Structure 1
C-alpha cells in the first residue's frame, strides 16, 4: 500500500491519520460559498453552493427518476424536496420515533425496486419491551393526490436486544449492487461487550433479504436466530455504510477517544471492538491497538484524534472523474468533508476539507455533484461541483 498523504485544505487541527494493513423549515437563499478558512482556498477543487437549510437533519437520499430529495430530521420529520423548484413539503405517515440523544428518525434509502413500486426504507429509534432499539421499515411513498405520504409502513428488522440509553444506534442502510440484499449497521448501544457476542445484533452489520429475513449464505446462517443475520461483528458505532462501484462494502465507524475507522466489510470478519482499537477509552483507559496476527480485521484507515465520521458515501459518478471510487466521510467533531482515495481494497491519499460546521451526511447527486448536509446548528444543504 502506498504511504498516506494528507493534503491540507483548511485541515482539521491536530489530525493524526494512520493507515492500517489492508486485512427547519427555513429556506436559505441560494448562492456561492467559499471555504470556511482563507488558507489555501485557491486549491479547493470544487465550488460550494448553498441550496437549503434544515433544523436537525440526519440523512438524505435522491429518488431515482425524478431526482427529488428526501431528507430526514431526527425529530421524526421527513422532507421531500423538489429537484426543479427547490420547494419542499413534509411527508405524512412517518413512524413514531424516540427523539433523544442519538436516537430519532435516521436513514432513508429508496428500495432497489423504487421505480416500479415507490418503496423506500427508513430507520429509526423505537421504544418497546426492554427499552429502546433501532428499527428498519419500508413503505410506499405516494406523491400524487395531495400531500406526499408513506403508506403501508411495516417494520422489517429490529435491533436485538433493546436496551436502556440513547446512543450508538447506527442504523445505516445499504443495498447490495444486485438489489437482492439489505445491509444494516447496528451499533453497540454504548455497551461494548455485546459487540463480541454473536448471539445478538449489537455491534454488527447484518445482511438480510429485502423482507428482513436472515439472508441465505450468511456466515452463521445455520445457527438461526439473531446470529443468522450477522455479516460481520466487533463494531462500535458504524454510522456510514456504502458499496463502492467495484462492489466492495465499506463502513465508517466512530471509535472511542480516537480510533475512528474506515473499514472494508468482509463476511465473517471480527473488527475487534472493544478488545482492540487504535484509540483509547474515555477517561484514559488503554485499549490494545490493532496488530497483525491478533485475529481481528484492522481498519483501512484510522484517525486519532477523532474526526467523528457520521456518514459515508463512495463516489461513483463522472462529474469528478479523479474521485470515482473514492470514499467521502462527513466529519462531525472534525467539521470537515474527508476524502479517502480507495484503490480496490486498500486506501491511500486522504484530503480533509474544513467546512466550518459539523457534517452529518454526504450523498452523490444524479448528475454526479457531491451534496453535503450539515448537522443541526448549521443545517446547510450544500452542492459541490468542480471548480472552474
Structure 2
C-alpha cells in the first residue's frame, strides 16, 4: 500500500506548475496477443504519483487526479501538464484522497466536471462527490464553483473502503458509489450512506423517482444498499443501466447491476470469506438479498471498469473491461443479455496495479496504474 506523506492534503492557491511531461519513447510501445487478437499498449503519460481518476476533454487533452490531492491538465500530445488549482481539500490516508474524475457529457457548453474525494470532517473523513467548472486562461487552470452534490455525512477515522466512482446517467442524474468504510454493518443501515449507491440530480437535489425519495424507509438519496467497497462503475451503452464492481473480502469480488431500492447483501451474504477464513454472514444467499451478475473467488481485487465502445480493436467492441489491483491485469468479459458469458485475462503482471479504464475519443482504451511511478497507457490495434 502506498505510503501516505500527509493525512491532509490542501491545494495551495496560486501554486500552478507548468512542467514538461515525459515524452513517449518507441520502447514504451509493446505488442501483445490474447485470444487470437493482437493489440498494442503504449505508455502515453508517465511520472504520475498514484493516478486515480482521469478523463478526456473535447479538445483531446485530459484531466488526471493523483490520490494525494493534485489534479493535472495534460495536453493532447502528452508533452505538457498544468497543475489545476481550486481542488477541494482531501484527507489522503490509506485508500482515501482525490479519487474519481469524469468530464460531464455537456462539458462543451457547461465546462463542468465531476470528482470524488475523501472529505475531511469531524471524526475523520467520508466520501463526497462534487461538481465544478474548469476555467482555463493561458498557462493556468482552476476549478471554480466547486459544489458538493452528495456526501457521506457520517465521518469516521481509518483509511479503508471509500469507494468511489461518480457516473453521470443518460437521464441527467448522477450515481455515486460509497464503500462501507471498513465497518460492514453500516452497509445494512438505511440511515447511513456507507456501503450504498446514491443517486442525485446534477445539482444535488433528490430525483422524484428515487426508491426512497420521501425519506421514510431510508435516506432519500440512496439507490441501493448492501455493498462492501465499489471501486468500479459504468453505464452499459446498450441499455443505459448502471453496472458496479466491488471488492469482496477473501474472495467474493462482485459485479452487480444495482436496481432501485434493492439490497445486495453485504455483510449478510457473500461468496467470499473473512480474512480469518471464517464464513461471512449466513452464506452465499438469503431471502431479500440480490445475487451478483458475476463474482471472483479467489479475489482479483477489482478496480475500474468500462464497456468498450471504440473501434481500434473491433473484435472487442461491447466487451466489459475490468482492472485488477492485486492480480495486476485487465479482464475482458463478454456480456450477453445482462450476463457474463466468458472471461479473458490480459497483460497479467506486466504493468502493475490497474486502477481506472476509460474510452478515448479516438476509439482506443486507456488505463492508469496505481503506482508511485504510475502512468497512463493506451490500448490500440496491432502495430
TM-score (norm 2): 0.88
Residue pair 1:25, 1:55 contacting (<8 A) in 2 also: no
Corresponding residue number in structure 2 for 1:6: none
Greater relative CO (CA pairs within 8 A, separation 6+): 1
Secondary structure in 2 matching 1:228:
coil
Residue pair 2:44, 2:78 contacting (<8 A) in 1 also: no
Alignment partner for residue 377 of structure 2, among 372, 377, 382?
382
Please say if 1:318 is aligned against 2:311.
yes
Alignment partner for residue 135 of structure 2, among 142, 161, 164?
142
Q: Which moved more, 1:107-116 or 1:317-326?
A: 317-326
Corresponding residue number in structure 2 for 1:234: 226
Residue pair 2:93, 2:158 contacting (<8 A) in 1 also: no
Q: Residues 191 and 30 of structure 1: is their aligned pair in 2 closer, same or farther, counting only changes over 3 Å?
A: same
Alignment partner for residue 88 of structure 1, among 81, 90, 93?
81
Instruction: Note the C-alpha offset of 1:159.
Output: 0.8
Q: Which moved more, 1:377-386 or 1:72-81?
A: 377-386
Alignment partner for residue 34 of structure 1, among 30, 45, 54?
30
Instruction: Note the C-alpha offset of 1:42.
Output: 8.8
Instruction: Note the C-alpha offset of 1:283.
Output: 1.1
Residue pair 1:258, 1:304 contacting (<8 A) in 2 also: yes
Instruction: Note the C-alpha offset of 1:325.
Output: 2.5
Describe how 1:68-83 pairs up with structure 2 within 5 A: 68-83=61-76
Residue pair 2:22, 2:79 contacting (<8 A) in 1 also: no
Q: Distance in 1 between matches of 2:185 and 2:35?
A: 47
Please say if 1:274 is aligned against 2:267.
yes
Instruction: Note the C-alpha offset of 1:83.
Output: 1.0
Q: Distance in 2 between matches of 1:361 and 1:155?
A: 22
Corresponding residue number in structure 2 for 1:7: none
Please say if 1:194 is aligned against 2:186.
yes
- 1:92-115 Cα distance to aligned partner (Å, 9 max, x none): 111111111011001111123311
TM-score (norm 1): 0.87
Alignment partner for residue 341 of structure 1, among 321, 334, 354?
334
Secondary structure in 2 matching 1:115:
helix
Alignment partner for residue 182 of structure 1, among 174, 192, 196?
174
Unaligned runs of 5+ in 2: 1-18
Q: Residues 41 and 235 of structure 1: is their aligned pair in 2 closer, same or farther, counting only changes over 3 Å?
A: closer
Residue pair 1:325, 1:343 contacting (<8 A) in 2 also: no
Instruction: Note the C-alpha offset of 1:213.
Output: 1.9
Please say if 1:210 is aligned against 2:202.
yes
Instruction: Note the C-alpha offset of 1:25.
Output: 7.8
Q: Distance in 2 between matches of 1:314 and 1:245?
A: 7
Please say if 1:305 is aligned against 2:307.
no
Please say if 1:59 is aligned against 2:24.
no
Secondary structure in 1 matching 2:77:
coil
Q: Distance in 2 between matches of 1:298 and 1:42?
A: 29
How many residue pairs get aligned? The number is: 359
Residue pair 2:165, 2:176 contacting (<8 A) in 1 also: yes
Describe how 1:276-295 pairs up with structure 2 within 5 A: 276-287=269-280, 288-291=282-285, 294-295=287-288
Instruction: Note the C-alpha offset of 1:225.
Output: 9.5
Corresponding residue number in structure 1 for 2:360: 365
Q: Distance in 2 between matches of 1:42 and 1:277?
A: 31
Corresponding residue number in structure 1 for 2:157: 164
Corresponding residue number in structure 2 for 1:128: 121
Unaligned runs of 5+ in 1: 1-23
